[in-house]
Each structure stands twice: as C-alpha cells, then as structure tokens.
Structure 1
C-alpha cells in the first residue's frame, strides 16, 4: 500500500471500487465503472471533504486529524455511513495514523483488507476481491457485503 493513497479524510483509496476498477482494468472485462487514481494522486486533496473544508481544499493540512475541529460534523456523518455500509471507519483510520504513524497504518491495512485467495485488496464498498469475485459483482452490480447470491 502507498502513503499517497490515504486521503486526508482517512479513506484508503486502494480499497475503493473506482480505484480498483482502474487498476484491474474492469471496463475491459465488461464492468463499466468510473475510474479514479485516488484523491492525492489526482490532485484533489480530498474528494469526500474538500468541497466543505477550506483546509482540505487548499491542501493546508495533510490529514483531518491536524484540524482543531477534528472530527468535524461532516467527517462524523461520512464516517457513520462508511462504518454502517462499508465496514470501515475513516475516523478510526485517522486516529490510528496519528497514534502509530503511517507505516504501521499501512501494514495494518494490508493485513485487514488482504484477499486470502490471491493477496489482492478487498473492496470496502462491497466486501469482494474484484480479482476473485468479479462474476458475483457482474451478476449484481449493487452487491453489498455478505448478500446471498441470486441465481
């Protein structure tokens, strides 16, 4: 995992379906999904929070935890949605980085999100390894964590 794939809001872009669709070239495999290189690599600072936060929009802080308002109302709402739907917490990610450093965080993320079959990254948006489970996602493009397959 790379440091520049951790967005200021705590999102690990490597786990995002749009990033994985790009790296795995899923359009060539019949799965039409928007591609994204990640917030920092494409110069956006933070796609989730930049529109409402001057510090992020201007790049004045690298991570939200460096702000006096951390965690702000907007980040709390985003975090609640991601904890509920996608089994990850941006606030927990940021607290871990602050307390343990980026290298420890990246190592931990690798352990948590590693596909046990191929070693790739599990997608946080659906709980699937898009290398191993693409057929499941093609059958149900709105697939979410642990749904029963429709036959």
Structure 2
C-alpha cells in the first residue's frame, strides 16, 4: 500500500490533517500504519478492525454491504458536529473520484491561506504558523 493510501483511513479520515499525525511528540503514523508506535485508539479501532472490512479485503468502508454501519454513522455525526467534516462525504468522494482526486482536493481544502501549511482538522489551526482558520 502506498503512502497516499496509507494516510487515508478505512473510515475516510484523511490522517494527514489529524492532530495526532501533525503533532511533534509521539506522532501517530496514520491509522493504517503497522509495526510503529500508534495510540491505543488507532490500534484497537473498531472500524479499522471490522471483520467484514478485513475478511473482504476492502480498503475503505464504502463497498461493504452494511455501509453506512452504526460505527461510521456515529463517527460521521461526531465529525460533522465538532469539526464540520463528513467522513461519509469523504468516502463518497473516494468511491466516485478515486484516491488521487480525493488527496488533491484535500490538500487544497486543508491548506493554510497564510503560509501554505496543513490545517489541523481537530483544532482548526495551521500546524506550521498556528494561525486559526474557520472550520471547513
């Protein structure tokens, strides 16, 4: 799996905009990273470790016959409410347009207008210049 796919979690989260990935100390290597230190929440993630996802060999949740399941629905609601981002919308774009188009759009969407750094989705601040941004 290449790095671009590796930084997009099965749930549709773009790990490159996550505060755990962007932090300097104890940095997460993305939800799909193996043989590296990752927080317990990523290692034991119920979505990433979903039996259907793993047994069917799906890269993402959208091809699953149970999509959207209760886990994705709850997480999507939390992200829409707290961070103004929809994981299900991300998954729909991945299915419709593919990984490269999704990554390209995400890079533009989460680019700091002041310095070009990456906006942290969880804090709505640039990870480089630390200037605040309105939630997307």
Relative to structure 1, is the Cα distance of residues 48 and 16 closer, same or farther in structure 2, using a 3 angstrom cutoff?
A: farther
SS at match of 2:80: helix
What is the alpha-carbon root mean square deviation over aligned residues? 2.5
Larger radius of gyration: 1
Query: How far does the alpha carbon of each residue in 1:23-48 deviate from its partner, in whole angstroms, 9 at most, with x for none?
Result: xx2x4xxxxxx421001123668836
TM-score by length of 1: 0.73
* 2:48 paired residue number: 50
SS at match of 1:91: helix
- Where structure 1 has 5 or more consecutive residues not aligned to the other structure, the ranges are 28-33, 137-144, 147-151
Contact 2:11/2:47 (<8 A) preserved: yes
Relative to structure 1, is the Cα distance of residues 113 and 132 closer, same or farther in structure 2, using a 3 angstrom cutoff?
A: same
- Where structure 2 has 5 or more consecutive residues not aligned to the other structure, the ranges are 36-41
Relative to structure 1, is the Cα distance of residues 109 and 126 closer, same or farther in structure 2, using a 3 angstrom cutoff?
A: same
* 1:94 shift after superposition: 0.4
TM-score by length of 2: 0.80
2:118 matches 1:126: no
* 1:39 paired residue number: 31
Query: How far does the alpha carbon of each residue in 1:92-148 deviate from its partner, in whole angstroms, 9 at most, with x for none?
Result: 0000010111111111101110011221110110110021118x8xxxxxxxx76xx
Q: How many residues get paired?
A: 126
